[in-house]
Amino acid sequence: MKVTLAALLADAWALFRRDADLLLRVAGLFFFLPTYALLLLVGPLPLPDPEIADTQARAQAWMNALDTWVGDYGLGSVVAYAVTYFGLALLFCLLLDPVRPTLREAMGRAARLFPRFILAMVVVSIPSGAGMYLLLLPGLWLMSRFMLAGPILFAAGAGTPRIGAIAAIGRSWRATRKAQLSLLGAIVTVYLAALLAGQPFMLFARWLGGEGGGNPLGVAIADACAAGVAMLTQVAGGLIAVAAYRRLSEPSAR
């Protein structure tokens, strides 16, 4: 099947329209709530203080601030991200199993495969995150090359042999080679949409919490809007990954 940006977006939209009610219920619990909790309750990650002239002293102060941040928010952040990744695993189980499992069945299967899924996500996040930090486009390109790892893991076992986390990553790299530009275009589209829609709410919340007079209700509303944008972004990313997998997989795997 031909893979183009328009085709991927159209397939993802068709999947959403078909299962919107179920997808939004899953997304509200597993995507919106953890993100909202992070925005409301977790302080910003500390950065090096540019006012400290000495490089060694600046690095030491930053490490001390990071240690404090991890002690205060580290466990909660890990739990929130784990819940979000479980929601993504559940989405893949619901959409990639040809038997169309119930929500309870899909949650059971997602739980069984979650350890290898989270391992795959951690492995791919290292080069992708480094690419995003150093230069944006290489990170997005790596994300597009690894985006099928999750669908491959959860499609395997639903009519095909099971596969390990590292093997799924390798298979994703090979499968996406013939559609690199289209997949990159899809990732960039989702990323830019999330940035343009969500960043204003986050900046507004920051302003309300500081120069805006410390308005807690306004901050909560703005953070809720930002979390809603993040939720829709995560749903869109998952749907595009499913659509790409279906178009790039062999007929027997679709």
- The SS3 of residue 19 is coil
Per-residue pLDDT tens over the stretch 28-57: 999 999 999 999 888 877 877 777 777 788
pLDDT, average across residues 117-129: 92
pLDDT at 253: 37
Residue recorded with tokens 């996040």: 125
pLDDT at 157: 59
pLDDT at 158 over 70: no
User: Per the structure block, which two tokens stand in for 177?
Assistant: 């080679």
Per-residue pLDDT tens over the stretch 202-247: 889 888 877 656 678 888 999 999 999 999 999 999 999 999 999 9
Claim: this prediction has a pTM higher than 0.85: yes
Question: For residues 209 and 72, which has the higher predicted lDDT (pLDDT)?
Answer: 72
3 phi/psi in degrees, rounded to 5: -115, 110
d(CA 223, CA 232): 14
